Amino acid sequence: MRDTPPIFQLLERLQGDRPWGSMLDAGTGARSARWMAGLPTTRWTAVSADPAMLAETRAALGPLRAADRLLAGNWSDAAFLAGERHDTVLAEYLLGAVQPYAPGLQPRLFARLRPLVGQRLYVIGLDPYAGGQGGSADDRLLRAIGRFRDGCLRRAGLVPYREYPAEWVLARLGEAGMAVRFARRFPNLYDARWVGMQLSSAAEALQGRAPACVVARMAAEAETLRARAAAHGVLRSGADYVIMAEPA
């Protein structure tokens, strides 16, 4: 039996009896590629702008069919996959992830993907949480963790992901000539494991990229946030969203 993450189970329910056909994972990773490779597609293509992510994804997969492809590519390149069309296109957290590789592309991303969509586009995204003010105690603590993470990445000379809310995505899909058939938010729960991963990866990004005094100061701040989160328990804040759209 396949161990399918809940968000992909939803996509399978939305797809119903419609054939997956030729499928494109427009921003792949090991999780989405494993799921896609287990679907009854005629062929699939998985794309990433990150060579390390592509290698990790390939290592997570078994033997590929002759027609299946893992490709390195950047959606800012107009020639990349030009002229192709895929029955089903998946954009799982792609909107935020393109920022380090194609800054400023997000407003045009869905227009860029539109010619590739033969029948259906699935968008999975995350409402941004590092900005803004106010909200519940959970909101404020999650925002502090997000700002710490992004601050560490910027100090290290790296580019943080940039997420956009579901309403922004709906508007861009309409502008790109896509008709939205389904859209729903799913409230998020962030446990101690997630908090620890965020804080550890952020602090580690500074190693070798910032003065020792900065590394030490940020490590101390990470421990303070970790302790606050441990005392607080599971954080209930923000939401992921799933949007299904078809060519209008």
Q: Give pLDDT tens digits along the chain (248 positions).
A: 368 999 999 999 999 999 999 999 999 999 999 999 999 999 999 999 999 999 999 999 989 999 999 999 999 999 999 999 999 999 999 999 999 999 999 999 999 999 999 999 999 999 999 888 889 999 999 999 999 999 999 999 999 999 999 999 999 999 999 999 999 999 999 999 999 999 999 988 998 999 999 999 999 999 999 999 999 999 999 999 999 999 99
User: Are 120 and 16 in the same domain?
Assistant: yes
Q: How far is CA 91 from CA 1, 79, 99, 137, 173, in A?
A: 25, 19, 14, 31, 12
Please check whether residues 208 and 248 belong to one and the same domain.
no
Same domain, 205 and 124: no
Residues 55 and 137 placed together within one structural domain of the fold: no
Those residues with Cβ within 8 angstroms of residue 77's Cβ, 6 or more apart along the chain or in another chain: none
Q: Phi, psi at residue 209, to the nearest 5°?
A: -120, 0
Secondary-structure breakdown of the chain: helix, strand, coil percentages, each rounded to the nearest 5? 45, 25, 35
Residue 11 sits in the same domain as residue 32: yes
**For the chain, what is the domain count?**
2
> For 20, phi and psi rounded to 5 degrees?
-70, -30
Closest CA to 242 of 125, 151, 132, 130: 125
Q: Are residues 178 and 224 in the same domain?
A: no
CB atoms within 10 A of CB 74: 14
Spatial CA neighbour of 208 closest among 145, 158, 148: 158
Q: What is the CA radius of gyration of the chain?
A: 19
One domain for residues 66 and 81: yes
Write down the pTM of the prediction: 0.93
In a shared domain, residues 80 and 181? yes
Buried b (16+ CB within 10 A) or exposed e, 150-163: bbbbebbeeebbbb
Give residue 85's pLDDT: 98
24: domain CATH number is 3.40.50.150
Q: Do 78 and 148 fall into the same domain? A: no
Residue 180 host element (H or E): strand 178-190
- Give the domain range for residue 209: 130-158+192-232
DSSP 201-229: HHHHHTTTTS-HHHHHHHHHHHHHHHHHH
Could you identify the residue written with the tokens 């909107």?
95
